[in-house]
Structure 1
Amino acid sequence: MPRIAPLAPSEAGPLVRLAYRVMGRRFGSVPEPFAVVAHHRKLFVASSVQELAAEKASTVLPAAVREIAVYRVAWTVGCSWCVDFGSMLMRLDGLDIDRLQHIEDYRTSALYSDDERAAIDYADAMTATPTEVTDEQVADLERRFGKAGVVELTYQIALENQRARTYSALGIVDQGFSTDSCRVPWADPQADPAPSGPAS
Structure 2
Amino acid sequence: MARISLDPPRTLLYRISEWYSRRTFGAVLDPVRAVAHHRRVMLSTLRFELSLGRWNRLDPQLKLLAVMASSHVIGCSWCTDFGYWEAHNEGMPSQKLHAVPSWREHREAFTEPELDVLEYAEAMSVTPPAVTDALAARLLERLGEAAFVELTAVIAVENQRSRMNSAFGLTGQGFSDRCAVPSRA
Deviation at 1:91, TM superposition (A): 1.2
Contact between 1:87 and 1:97, CA under 8 Å: does it hold in 2?
no
Q: Deviations over 1:87-107 (max 9, x none)?
A: 111111111134322224423
Name the CA distance, whole Å, in 2 between partners of 1:105 and 1:19.
35
Name the CA distance, whole Å, in 2 between partners of 1:23 and 1:70.
20
Quick one: which of 76, 79, 87 aligns to 2:76?
79
* Partner residue in 2 for 1:178: 176
Contact between 1:90 and 1:97, CA under 8 Å: does it hold in 2?
no
* Partner residue in 1 for 2:6: 6
Fraction of identical pairs, as percent: 36
* Partner residue in 1 for 2:99: 102
* Partner residue in 2 for 1:146: 144
- Please list every run of 5 or more consecutive structure 2 residues that lacks an aligned counterpart in the other structure: 180-185
Give the 3-state SS of the residue equivalent to 2:144 in structure 1. Answer: helix
* Partner residue in 2 for 1:22: 20
Residue correspondence of structure 1 range 120-135 to structure 2 within 5 A: 120-135=118-133
- Please list every run of 5 or more consecutive structure 1 residues that lacks an aligned counterpart in the other structure: 182-200
* Partner residue in 1 for 2:182: none
Name the CA distance, whole Å, in 1 between partners of 2:127 and 2:69.
15
Q: How many residues align?
A: 178
Give the 3-state SS of the residue equivalent to 1:107 in structure 2. Answer: helix
* Partner residue in 2 for 1:93: 90
TM normalised by structure 1 equals 0.84
Give the 3-state SS of the residue equivalent to 2:53 in structure 1. Answer: helix
Give the 3-state SS of the residue equivalent to 1:56 in structure 2. Answer: coil
Quick one: which of 47, 57, 69 aligns to 2:66?
69
Contact between 2:74 and 2:126, CA under 8 Å: does it hold in 1?
no
Give the 3-state SS of the residue equivalent to 1:72 in structure 2. Answer: helix
* Partner residue in 1 for 2:39: 41
Name the CA distance, whole Å, in 2 between partners of 1:96 and 1:63.
13
Name the CA distance, whole Å, in 2 between partners of 1:129 and 1:144.
26
Moved more, 126-135 or 36-45: 126-135
**Whose radius of gyration is greater, 1 or 2?**
1
Q: Deviations over 1:82-124 (max 9, x none)?
A: 0111111111111113432222442352111100100011111
Check if 1:56 corresponds to 2:62. no
Please give the root-mean-square deviation of Cα atoms over the aligned residues, in Å: 1.5
TM normalised by structure 2 equals 0.91
Contact between 2:21 and 2:27, CA under 8 Å: does it hold in 1?
yes
More helix as a share of residues: 2
Name the CA distance, whole Å, in 1 between partners of 2:48 and 2:17.
14
Letter in 2 for 1:132: A
Moved more, 113-122 or 93-102: 93-102
